[in-house]
Structure 1
Amino acid sequence: MEHTIPFTSTNLMEVVGAMKLDQAFRFSFFRLSLFALLASPAAAQLSPGFYSFSCPNAELLVRGAVRSASAMDSTVPAKLLRLLFHDCLVEGCDGSVLVQGNGAESSDPANKSLDGFYVVESAKRLLEIWCPGTVSCADILVLAARDAVELSGGPSVEVPLGRRDGIVSSASDVRPNMVDTVFSLDQMMQRFAAKGLSIDDLVVLSGAHTIGSSHCRTFGDRFQQASNGSLVPADNSLDSNYAMELANKCFAGASDSTSVANDPVTPSTFDNQYYANLLANKGLLHSDSILVTDPRTKSRVQAFAQSPEKFFASWADSFVKLSTVGVKTGDQGQIKVSCTNM
């Protein structure tokens, strides 16, 4: 079913009102030395104040769209955050994952369960009214994911802007770049390193799994089917009671759409509970659990489990790094009118 955010005069006034109410968010206690993080020449052209004159209300308009959508559907924040990951790790943060159609990135089986496109497109339509031909879909997606985290209880992060939209969106580019849930730590590190992200960034950004849910098939490798059709754990690293809960929810024959919360304790709150879950052997995915079973990452997991402040500060840093992977700036790419069309 297609979702839309209706643009009535009342709704528009609500968004404008939200713009005023959210002015306080612009001065967050998490201010970064952004330019020190922007390593590539293209990324160095990004700036937090990129739209200060051309579209000064851009960030507040996006926040209003995310807030409205999240009020109607509590799963929106996690969906927007996942969209950003799937965008940045393939062609870079250029909005190419948003393109719809056969052969586009979104058509690859690994992206079939992505959702939240309508929120970005709704924000784009609104921005085309206020600032036509100015704000890229790539920037809107970064802002939407940033706001999704904050609206879920996470830190406020100042992000550099000025990305342009990509002109290529190919399903064949997805698999060679995306991280799979069955990967080993070394495989994940290799994929991240190829994007300029470190092992510390890997541990920090995995914390995105503190919100959202995963379909049963994404962790099916951790179970095997018994003769009576029930599921039994095939992975001893899982807490036995937690494994039983998962088996009961994902029994043999369960719908392909059946999903389980990534964080069984605070599933809708962006916090450091994810890391506490890992230490309690309640990491849902293999790619989660490996972080606490490998000595190269376990100490980082322990540190984040003990200190939400440390996790939030590290998240702000790593999120900015993720959001500047492979960006297009200057005369590269384009500024699209619609995010779903190439």
Structure 2
Amino acid sequence: KSHLYNLLILVIFFIVSYPSSSNLSFDFYATSCPTAEVMVKNTVRSASSFDPTLSGKLLRLLFHDCFVEGCDASVLLEGNATERTDPANRSLGGFAVIDSAKRVLEIFCPGIVSCADILVLAARDAVEIAGGPGIQIPTGRRDGRVSAASNVRPNIVDTSFTMDEMIKIFSVKGLSINDLVTLSGAHTIGSAHCSSFSDRFQVNSNGKLTLIDASLDKGYAAELSRQCPVGASTSITVNNDPETPILFDNQYYKDLLAHRGLFQSDSVLLNDKRTMNQVMDFANDQSSFLDSWGQSFLKLASIGVKTGVEGEIRRSCSVTNG
């Protein structure tokens, strides 16, 4: 109960403090499309039963949307030089699920539910389906009309970033250091291509392993080198969390304490005094992490939202109405 009370207070704070969020509400579709959230959840649940890795894909898709142009579904737009064409976004997944939910909603509630809301709700539901907390999310976002590949790199976190680089980007988005540590917990699910971490170690022609990043556990590095041998296919992926890869829990933070964070940007959380204590707290107390996740996710889903007469309600999530 205290968790729900704290979350409600945070929602009220956002709606009052951020003008762009002033038209978001919990009952936004109560009259116009009362079963909107149920239809999105059923779509995600059905797709997840066939693809247990979907939760990680949808969560990553939301991050890449909200950090560029705000949470306005700009990452979903197809075309030359759109966000989807940037190399950092070419490995994104989950688009088909969003498109499927949109098709259903257009049948029952044509022109009512935005792709931006669908993406936020789908990511929220994906976390819950994977074992994470259920979170109430205000809706009423509208879809953006701008999607440019040139906006991607300056706005997203790279896996090789230092703590200062990550703090700078999160701060610009209105997110705190606490949010940075909490939202990094998204890496408790999902997977990554070898190229995103292979520069942390080196294997010579004789098979000898050398750590380039000394913060990485050598046994874990050896395990990663076997999964990503030299010359391996670029399509190979590795689980972000080697222990419970499809369960949304606090194992990610336990992995960090064991120096088994997959990315350099993961490992720095343990090695920096500004974030070390929070990592240890989350590793020792899953409830603390899940409570914090609900609050930080709400902030993530409120970044740069378009409401009122801004943007549009797309008929199809991959193209603007114009």
User: Normalised by the shorter chain, which TM-score bucket?
Assistant: over 0.9
Distance 1:334 1:230, change over 3 A: farther
Report the Cα distance in structure 2 between the residues aligned to 1:301 and 1:225, rounded to whole angstroms.
30
Larger deviation, residues 89-98 vs 40-49: 40-49
Native 8 Å contact 1:279 1:302 kept in 2 = yes
Is 2:138 aligned against 1:168?
A: no
Report the Cα distance in structure 2 between the residues aligned to 1:301 and 1:332, rounded to whole angstroms.
39
1:224, CA displacement in angstroms? Answer: 2.3
- Alignment deviations for residues 128-168 of structure 1 (CA, whole Å, 9 cap, x no partner): 01111000000000000000000000000001100000010
Match of 1:79 among 43, 57, 63: 57
1:20 is matched with none
Give me the identity figure in percent: 58
Distance 1:338 1:28, change over 3 A: farther
Q: Give the counterpart letter for 1:36 in structure 2.
A: F
Match of 2:70 among 92, 116, 125: 92
Q: Secondary structure at the match of 1:214?
A: strand
1:317 is matched with 295
Report the Cα distance in structure 2 between the residues aligned to 1:67 and 1:232, rounded to whole angstroms.
43
1:243, CA displacement in angstroms? Answer: 1.1
1:326 is matched with 304
Report the Cα distance in structure 2 between the residues aligned to 1:28 and 1:92, rounded to whole angstroms.
30
Q: Secondary structure at the match of 2:26?
A: coil
Native 8 Å contact 2:157 2:166 kept in 1 = yes
1:5 is matched with none
After TM superposition, the runs of 4+ consecutive aligned structure 1 residues lying more than 4 A away are none
Match of 2:14 among 37, 45, 57: 37
- Alignment deviations for residues 236-277 of structure 1 (CA, whole Å, 9 cap, x no partner): 111121111011111101111111110011000000010010
1:232, CA displacement in angstroms? Answer: 3.4
Larger deviation, residues 255-264 vs 220-229: 220-229
| TM-score, normalised via structure 1 length | 0.90
1:81, CA displacement in angstroms? Answer: 0.4
1:136 is matched with 114
- Alignment deviations for residues 161-195 of structure 1 (CA, whole Å, 9 cap, x no partner): 00000010111100110111111000000000000
Report the Cα distance in structure 2 between the residues aligned to 1:30 and 1:76, rounded to whole angstroms.
27
Equivalences, count: 316
1:341, CA displacement in angstroms? Answer: 1.0
- Alignment deviations for residues 262-306 of structure 1 (CA, whole Å, 9 cap, x no partner): 001100000001001000100000000000011110000011111
- Alignment deviations for residues 110-136 of structure 1 (CA, whole Å, 9 cap, x no partner): 000001101001000000011110000
2:276 is matched with 298
Match of 1:203 among 181, 184, 195: 181
Native 8 Å contact 1:232 1:247 kept in 2 = no
2:201 is matched with 223
Report the Cα distance in structure 1 between the residues aligned to 2:234 and 2:207, rounded to whole angstroms.
16
- Alignment deviations for residues 4-25 of structure 1 (CA, whole Å, 9 cap, x no partner): xxxxxxxxxxxxxxxxxxxxxx
Q: Give the counterpart letter for 2:244 in structure 1.
A: T
Report the Cα distance in structure 2 between the residues aligned to 1:249 and 1:257, rounded to whole angstroms.
12
| TM-score, normalised via structure 2 length | 0.95
Q: Give the counterpart letter for 2:140 in structure 1.
A: G
Report the Cα distance in structure 2 between the residues aligned to 1:30 and 1:103, rounded to whole angstroms.
42
Match of 1:279 among 257, 261, 265: 257
1:190 is matched with 168
Native 8 Å contact 2:73 2:144 kept in 1 = yes
Native 8 Å contact 2:187 2:252 kept in 1 = yes
> Which stretches in structure 1 are left out of the alignment for 5+ residues?
1-26
Report the Cα distance in structure 2 between the residues aligned to 1:219 and 1:48, rounded to whole angstroms.
40
- Alignment deviations for residues 39-96 of structure 1 (CA, whole Å, 9 cap, x no partner): 3201122111111111100000000000011011111111000000000000100000
1:197, CA displacement in angstroms? Answer: 0.4
Q: Secondary structure at the match of 1:208?
A: helix
Q: Secondary structure at the match of 1:260?
A: strand
> Which stretches in structure 2 are left out of the alignment for 5+ residues?
none
Report the Cα distance in structure 2 between the residues aligned to 1:231 and 1:110, rounded to whole angstroms.
28
Alignment RMSD (CA, Å) = 1.4
1:335 is matched with 313
Report the Cα distance in structure 2 between the residues aligned to 1:233 and 1:284, rounded to whole angstroms.
13
Report the Cα distance in structure 1 between the residues aligned to 2:131 and 2:70, rounded to whole angstroms.
27
